[in-house]
Amino acid sequence: MAQINSMARKSGFTLIELVVVIVILGLLAVVAAPKFINLRDDAMVAKLEGMQGAMKSGARLIYAKAAVENKLEGNDSITEGNASISLNSGYPVANWMDGIRYIVDLDVINYSGAADVCDVDWCGRGNQTSIPSGVTTTSPGRIGKVYPKGYSWNDQCGVYYLNHEDGRTPEIGLETADC
C-alpha cells in the first residue's frame, strides 16, 4: 500500500513546475511574436512584388502591341478592347484615366485622392510629378501609383509607374517603408 501512495504522489506536476512551464511558454511567445509580425509585412511586400511583376508584364504587352502598330515614337494611342490607351514612346503614359489603369487587368482598381484610404483591393492615382518616397520626375514625365487596401497615396506602400516621356523605358518600382 505504501508503494501505491508514493506512486500517486509522483504521477503529477507540482505547482512550481507548472508555473515554470507557463513562464517559459510566455517567454517563447514574446520572442516569437515579432517573427510572426514580420511575416505579415513580408506578405504585403510579396503582394506588392506580384503587382509590380504584373505591371511590368502589362507595360511590355502594350509596348509590343504599339510596336506591331508602328507607334513607338512620340505621343500616340492604341485601342485594346473598348479602351483607348495613351502612349509615349510606345509605353502607357502615367495618367490614370488614359494609361496606367489599363496596364493591369483588374476591375477593382479605383482612382482615389491623395489622402483617401483605399477601401477596395487596389486603388491608384496618376499624373503626378513625385511620390512620398522621394522619387520625382521633371516635365513632361509623370508618375502613377497603385496601392493596396488600407493605404493611401501619401503612404509609402505601393507600386509606382514612372514614365519620363523622353524615350526611356518606364520605371516600375516599389514603395515599402510604410507597409
What does the pLDDT read at residue 15? 79
What does the pLDDT read at residue 9? 55
CB-based contact 179:157 (threshold 8 Å): yes
Tell me the CA distances in angstroms from 111 to 29, 44, 118, one per residue in order: 41, 21, 9
What does the pLDDT read at residue 64? 95
Alpha helix positions (H), 69-176: none
What does the pLDDT read at residue 8? 52
CA atoms of 106 and 175, how far apart (whole Å): 20
Q: Are strands 158-163 and 171-175 parallel, antiparallel or unpaired?
A: antiparallel
What does the pLDDT read at residue 140? 82
CB-based contact 123:116 (threshold 8 Å): yes
Place of cell 491623395: 114
H-helix or E-strand spanning residue 5: helix 2-10
Count the alpha carbons within 13 Å of 171 in the hemisphere toward its beta carbon. 14
Query: How far is C-alpha 23 from the geometric centre of its chain's CA atoms?
Result: 39
Q: What is the pLDDT along the chain (179 residues), one digit of tens a residue?
A: 455 555 555 667 787 888 888 888 888 877 777 766 677 788 899 999 999 999 999 999 999 999 999 999 999 999 988 889 999 999 999 988 888 888 887 666 677 778 889 988 888 898 888 888 888 887 788 999 999 999 999 999 999 999 988 888 999 999 999 98
CA atoms of 123 and 146, how far apart (whole Å): 6
